[in-house]
Structure 1
Amino acid sequence: MSDAAASIPFHAGTEGYTSFRIPAVVVSRVGTVLAFCEGRADSAADHGHIDIVLKRSGDGGRTWGALQVAARNGSDLAGNPAPVVLDTGRILLVHVRSAASATEDAVLRGQVSDADGRRVWVQHSDDDGVTWSDPVEITGSVKKPGWRWYATTPGHAVQLRSGRVVVPANHTVPPTGGDDGTEAKYNSGHCLLSDDRGATWYLGYVDENTDGYINVNETTAAELPDGRVYFNTRNDSPAPGNRADAHSEDGGRTLVRPFRPQAGLTAPVCEASVLQLRDPDLLLYSGPADPAARALMTIRASADGGTTWRSAYTVDGLPAAYSDLARVDADTVGLLYETGDFSAYTTITFRRVPVNRLTWPGTAARTDVESAP
């Protein structure tokens, strides 16, 4: 099923950037599609001079405006964009910053100072993403002393029907056996919460599993129709499959149970995205479906809150890696994803997928809810 309309907002080696990685997409209250990613200036590495760049589309992702820099940290790093559109129309952009020289390995080994390490910031736009406020640091509210690596999402964050903003995130604690980084590295999960639309922030659940069975890494979230929050994460561990999931019944403050393997999602070790549709009631998941390689970008769907999954739409068999999902309009889901003919990191492509391609008998549209996400 490769006939859904596609466009390419970002192509490696153009517009002043060597590489574009880590896509995130939201749709504003007036219908503008905002495609974010990391613009990596000097190389494809995860450290160095990295800006958060943005392109806007007023026609549902068919064409794109000029490249904008939404967040810049001088010649250092601003990355892991986690945007969310609020009920007020304001667009929040939560992200991390660090020194350009702060490699992941050095951070994990405790060789980077707190000032140069991974710190958390937020900006906002009140004009549909045209301009952005000055960044405000929130590290002290959402990062515990001793945490080393830290990353928001990647992908979009969510605002719950209660008004609370939930930003999934992950961190690492010092490795067992000492501080030299030679022992096991334990990824751990947590989320950032705001009950005043981004003015103040605090930590929600913290899931620090150090037995090596589950390593919670890059995490995505959606609010289910029954009000629970569903979290799905990249699992860097020997547990069955490479995905794990969990639910929260209190808006992300705690988890009903710690993350457990989700073997129903065949996937390589890679980031993914989830999105809850309200009309029809379907939970969507996007990510590569080849169990051994970042390839075969596929949207899967669940009608039972993430317990079971079915393949709903396969883009093609090409290399593909990180992705994000957004509801464009009543008839369309947008998929922003990394792909290319010979490398998953050649382009960040946007694909318009008809909602009726994602449904099956028994998932007819409801008429008692709004069609907007």
Structure 2
Amino acid sequence: MKAKVESARFNDLPAGGRRSELAGREHVMKLLLLAAVAVMPEQIDLFRAGVDGYHTYRIPSVLVSSKGVVLAFAEGRKTGRGDAGDIDVVLKRSTDGGKTWLPQQVVWDDGPNTCGNPCAVVDRQTGTIWLLLTHNLGSDTEAQIASGKSKGSRTVWVTRSDDEGATWARPREITHDVKLPNWSWYATGPGIGIQTTKGRLVIPCDNKVAGSGLLQSHVIYSDDHGATWKLGGVVGPDCNESQIVELQDGSLLLNIRSYRKGNRRLVALSRDGGLSFETPREDAALIDPICQASVIALPGKPGEYLFANPASTRREKLTIRWSGDNCRTWTASRVIHSGPSAYSCLAVLPDGTVGCLYERGEKSPYEFIAWARLPVEWVRQGD
């Protein structure tokens, strides 16, 4: 009855009064929305250095399965922070959108050797989760492998899960399909791959040409739902770790860690599904401390993307940026950790919020791998 009386009173107002009343209500709603998005994102330290037998956790990768299970991968480094030695690929899963997490799993442990660089992708048509990985002898360092002085070589592998990450197939080597003979170093991802609108699975990677110091980014792809993998386009020089997104027109954009002067990200466009890329160009808006970063498309929001990296010339100030024009400009941003921070990975969660798995600490970026859940609108309303 009260609602009817208020409605009658509203309808009895002169036209100007009704407009004023509506404007007032809209203003209140805007204030409520701004108050809601002003709240800082929920954050926990998902992987902590020194826990579960690992000295350090690094190299985050996060993926949401076709059934909504959230998978958070990392490297578990047993003896130190370095990139060589006894390193396993570990995983934590969440069945409630990243609110709580199941106990830690080990996806790949090859004794004293190095298993790492997780880069996951889900096939939306089959539901299979593919995880691309690299391997080398634990006694070989990156410098030795890159210079050709190592005992072994850097190899490329793939494993799969058909049960939302609960179990994994034995890793299968694909080195000869995706690595050229003159490439010494090789890394998959790290981060995530994509499945294009046409169904192609695409994984961003990087390599070093033996004896030359040439750094390149490249992609590998599968057109048969992960059964076989092929080498795609190569981008260089001075290019390293990268992430890839599909733009609104179907082209692919590679966002690249750069070793060129200026501390800016590089981007390269592919108009043939990743078989080749145009010459990379600098994105002047994306300051970067020569570090891995993350970029994702927002499903159901054409032209909208998120980008995360340490927005500084040092590994600090982990920032998420929003673009509403297919990554041409980045018009809003939020800092989620002002202190030391490094690698990151973004994912859209089942409820539409965004998850960010990233390296952070108080004195070093490698003390924790943190998990943040945040509303997209919170980023959109940022500076």
Aligned to 2:19: none
Q: How do 1:1-373 and structure 2 match up within 5 A? A: 3-87=40-124, 88-113=126-151, 116-176=152-212, 185-209=213-237, 215-238=238-261, 240-255=262-277, 257-281=278-302, 282-290=304-312, 292-359=313-380
Larger CA deviation: 195-204 vs 310-319: 310-319
Alpha-carbon distance in structure 2 between the residues aligned to 1:74 and 1:316: 35
CA contact (8 A) 1:298 1:311 kept: no
Structure 1: give runs of 5+ residues left out of the alignment.
177-184, 210-214, 362-373
How far apart are 1:360 and its partner, in Å? 5.5
Letter of the 2:170 counterpart: D
Residue 149 of structure 1 aligns to a residue whose secondary structure is: strand
- Larger relative helix fraction: 2
Query: After superposition, what is the alpha-carbon deviation per residue over 1:332-360, rounded to whole angstroms, capped at 9, x for unaligned?
Result: 01000000122111100110010211335
- Inter-CA distance 25–63: structure 2 relative to 1 (3 Å threshold): same
Larger CA deviation: 219-228 vs 310-319: 310-319
Question: TM-score if structure 1 supplies the norm length?
Answer: 0.89
Residue 267 of structure 2 aligns to a residue whose secondary structure is: strand
Query: After superposition, what is the alpha-carbon deviation per residue over 1:246-292, rounded to whole angstroms, capped at 9, x for unaligned?
Result: 1111111111x2212222101211100000113333111101112x2
Residue 358 of structure 1 aligns to a residue whose secondary structure is: helix
Residue 199 of structure 1 aligns to a residue whose secondary structure is: coil
CA contact (8 A) 1:294 1:320 kept: yes
Larger CA deviation: 215-224 vs 298-307: 298-307
- Inter-CA distance 2–348: structure 2 relative to 1 (3 Å threshold): farther
Query: After superposition, what is the alpha-carbon deviation per residue over 1:176-198, rounded to whole angstroms, capped at 9, x for unaligned?
Result: 4xxxxxxxx22111111100111
How far apart are 1:2 and its partner, in Å? 7.0
Larger CA deviation: 130-139 vs 306-315: 306-315
How far apart are 1:227 and its partner, in Å? 0.9
How far apart are 1:306 and its partner, in Å? 2.0
CA contact (8 A) 1:55 1:67 kept: yes
Report the RMSD for the aligned CA atoms in angstroms.
1.5
Alpha-carbon distance in structure 1 between the residues aligned to 2:252 and 2:351: 23
Alpha-carbon distance in structure 2 between the residues aligned to 1:331 and 1:133: 30
Residue 344 of structure 2 aligns to a residue whose secondary structure is: strand
Alpha-carbon distance in structure 1 between the residues aligned to 2:39 and 2:337: 6
CA contact (8 A) 1:225 1:278 kept: no
CA contact (8 A) 1:241 1:262 kept: no
How far apart are 1:21 and its partner, in Å? 0.2
Alpha-carbon distance in structure 2 between the residues aligned to 1:287 and 1:122: 27
Query: After superposition, what is the alpha-carbon deviation per residue over 1:86-110, rounded to whole angstroms, capped at 9, x for unaligned?
Result: 1111110001000001101111211
Alpha-carbon distance in structure 2 between the residues aligned to 1:206 and 1:343: 33
Residue 140 of structure 1 aligns to a residue whose secondary structure is: helix
Structure 2: give runs of 5+ residues left out of the alignment.
1-37
Alpha-carbon distance in structure 2 between the residues aligned to 1:157 and 1:73: 24
Letter of the 2:146 counterpart: L
Question: TM-score if structure 2 supplies the norm length?
Answer: 0.87
CA contact (8 A) 2:337 2:360 kept: no
Residue 329 of structure 1 aligns to a residue whose secondary structure is: coil
Alpha-carbon distance in structure 1 between the residues aligned to 2:112 and 2:337: 37
Residue 165 of structure 2 aligns to a residue whose secondary structure is: coil
CA contact (8 A) 2:296 2:307 kept: yes
How far apart are 1:174 and its partner, in Å? 2.6
Count of aligned pairs: 343
Letter of the 2:40 counterpart: D
CA contact (8 A) 1:241 1:261 kept: no
Residue 46 of structure 2 aligns to a residue whose secondary structure is: strand
Query: After superposition, what is the alpha-carbon deviation per residue over 1:150-190, rounded to whole angstroms, capped at 9, x for unaligned?
Result: 001110111111111100111011344xxxxxxxx221111
